[in-house]
Amino acid sequence: MNPPFRPFFFLVLATFMFTWFALIVLPWINLGHLAPIKEEGTPGITPWDSSGSAHQGEKVYASNGCAYCHTQQVRPASSGADIIRGWGTATDDGDPKKEVTRRTYPRDYIWQHQVFLGTSRAGADLTNVAHRFPTAAGLYRYLYDPYVLNGHSSMPAYRFLFTMQKVRGLPSDDALVLVPADMPPAGWEIVPTAEAKSLVAYLLSLNKGYHLPDENGPVPRPSKS
């Protein structure tokens, strides 16, 4: 009923190679070489790398499994309602009063060591979370107790990313301003740990407040010179 072992093996290998080539190798030829784009007349490049603290935050994001419920991709208006949900709207990097609304492109992710596009939207898309939570303080409060803003949230509270400490002199700058139910006893304050700080730096760094050329056209390759 079966072909002999060797032809069978090579046939299976060929079918595997076919999907491997089309699904992985071809996209890699297209996307593997993406470089930042040089800005006209300035030495700058777009997009620019995020801070070291944000890269540390990637690891916190990974090990606490944020990617199981949150995506980091905005689909174009032609595919799904991401733009209508407001997930494609970012604060402009140049002018905080302006907004940039767009889908995400492969070039947006070239600086990230680990890319978390995500597969589930049990929670909101986090691409432009900095637009909805412009300050770190707001994100700290949300991580500490998500149910204040969203009573039916599926998100766990990440209280282990914070510590309670005695107030010595003036309260810390980053002490959390909490609702009465969550408030620590008098004379104590709740402050983010280093992990929480890097996680929030990472979340804020995801903002896509810049423009990229429409990448549906030919993809620019790195210059040979």
**Helix-, strand-, coil-residue percentages of the chain, each rounded to 5:** 35, 10, 55
**Phi, then psi, of 100 in degrees rounded to 5:** -120, 125
Least distance to other proteins, CB of residue 29, Å? 10
Which range touches other proteins (CB under 8 A), out of 25-33, 170-178, 181-189, 199-207?
25-33
Contact status, residue 190 vs residue 86, Cβ threshold 8 Å? no
* 38 near other proteins (CB under 8 A): yes
* 5 near other proteins (CB under 8 A): yes
Quick one: which of 10, 16, 21, 188 contacts other proteins (CB under 8 A)? Answer: 16
| C-alpha to C-alpha distances, 206 to 26, 88, 110, 117, nearest whole angstrom | 27, 12, 12, 12
Task: Report the b/e string of 65-82 with b at 16+ CB within 10 A.
Answer: ebbebbbbbbbeeeeeeb
Structure tokens at 156: 């766990």
Which range touches other proteins (CB under 8 A), out of 11-19, 91-99, 172-180, 184-192?
11-19
Question: In terms of CB distance, is 95 or 164 closer to other proteins?
Answer: 164
Which range touches other proteins (CB under 8 A), out of 91-99, 117-125, 165-173, 183-191?
117-125
* 156 near other proteins (CB under 8 A): yes
Least distance to other proteins, CB of residue 169, Å? 28
Quick one: which of 21, 121, 179, 213 contacts other proteins (CB under 8 A)? Answer: 121
Q: Which helix (H) or strand (E) holds 128?
A: none
